[in-house]
Chain A
Amino acid sequence: EPEVTQTPSHQVTQMGQEVILRCVPISNHLYFYWYRQILGQKVEFLVSFYNNEISEKSEIFDDQFSVERPDGSNFTLKIRSTKLEDSAMYFCAILGDSLFLAGGSTDTQYFGPGTRLTVL
């Protein structure tokens, strides 16, 4: 199963501050995703990223959010000016790719351990 790490594991920030959440897959993948889960609620899709472009985004993913792959390996989610309601677990996911050593099913998303974001 493909491995994905996320940093930091927990981020505490003040309202209005910018945060950058990082996702590092162990091997190369083409599809990346960000999801969030507000405490006690269901997991919600934010954005998908394919071939270095956003392929789909939800209504949650407004102008305060952006994604990029700055160095071809890390995949980042930036929130420009955090709000209290941005407090949540943020999960990165990658689509398994059997072309690479990490394998996994090419039609299955594998999740990182998540970053817990707390906005005060």
Chain B
Amino acid sequence: AQTVTQSQPEMSVQEAETVTLSCTYDTSENNYYLFWYKQPPSRQMILVIRQEAYKQQNATENRFSVNFQKAAKSFSLKISDSQLGDTAMYFCASALQGGSEKLVFGKGTKLTVNP
């Protein structure tokens, strides 16, 4: 069975600074995908970034990047130049195979960006 663990219930960061959100996962499969979703107060789930497990290169999307450590089963999200609009819940999730399988989510990290 897949599990996803986010050990930081809450974090805060000053505007323009960098913050890293942690995520670990467990799976016995070799082919899987990892995701970070953002949930602002509107409660919509918004994709932030995705990583294919077979790719060694860490994914990057503008100010968002991941540190994917496959052997350690770790998938952290780094937000650079934090903005007030980054304030949200952040969920780490995994899906087996081609991503068409169900998403398994962590409990989330509430990030607050302070002015």
- Tell me if B108 and A108 are in contact (CB < 8 A): no
Given A105-B50, A108-B50, A110-B47, are A45 and B103 neighbors across the interface (CB < 8 Å)?
A: yes
Question: In the complex, how many angstroms separate the beta carbon of A52 from the nearest chain B beta carbon?
Answer: 15
Neighbouring A residues of B45 by C-beta, 8 Å: 43, 91, 93, 111, 114
Residues of chain A at the chain B interface (Cβ within 8 Å): 1, 31, 33, 35, 37, 41-45, 48, 50, 56, 58, 89, 91, 93, 95, 105-114, 116
Stretch of B16-24, B72-80, B94-102 contacting A (4+ beta carbons < 8 Å): B94-102
Decide yes or no whether B104 CB sits under 8 A from chain A: yes
B98-A1 in contact (CB<8A): no
Given the complex, which residues of A lie within 8 Å of B43, measured CB to CB?
37, 89, 113-114, 116
Q: Are the C-beta atoms of B106 and A1 separated by less than 8 Å?
A: no
For B35, give the chain A residue with the smallest CB separation: A108
A91 contacts across to B, CB distance below 8 A:
45
Contact B108 A106 (CB under 8 A): no
Contacts of B68 in A (CB 8 A): none
Given A1-B47, A43-B91, A91-B45, check contact A107 B98 (CB 8 Å). yes
Q: A42-B91, A56-B102, A106-B98 are in contact. Are A111 and B44 (CB under 8 A)?
A: yes
* B37 cross-chain contacts in A, Cβ below 8 A: 111
Indicate if the CB atoms of A106 and B103 lie closer than 8 Å: no
For A108, list chain B residues within 8 Å (CB): 33, 35, 47, 50, 99
User: 13 A–B contact pairs at CB < 8 A?
Assistant: A33-B102, A42-B106, A43-B105, A50-B100, A56-B102, A91-B45, A107-B33, A108-B35, A108-B99, A109-B99, A111-B44, A112-B44, A114-B44
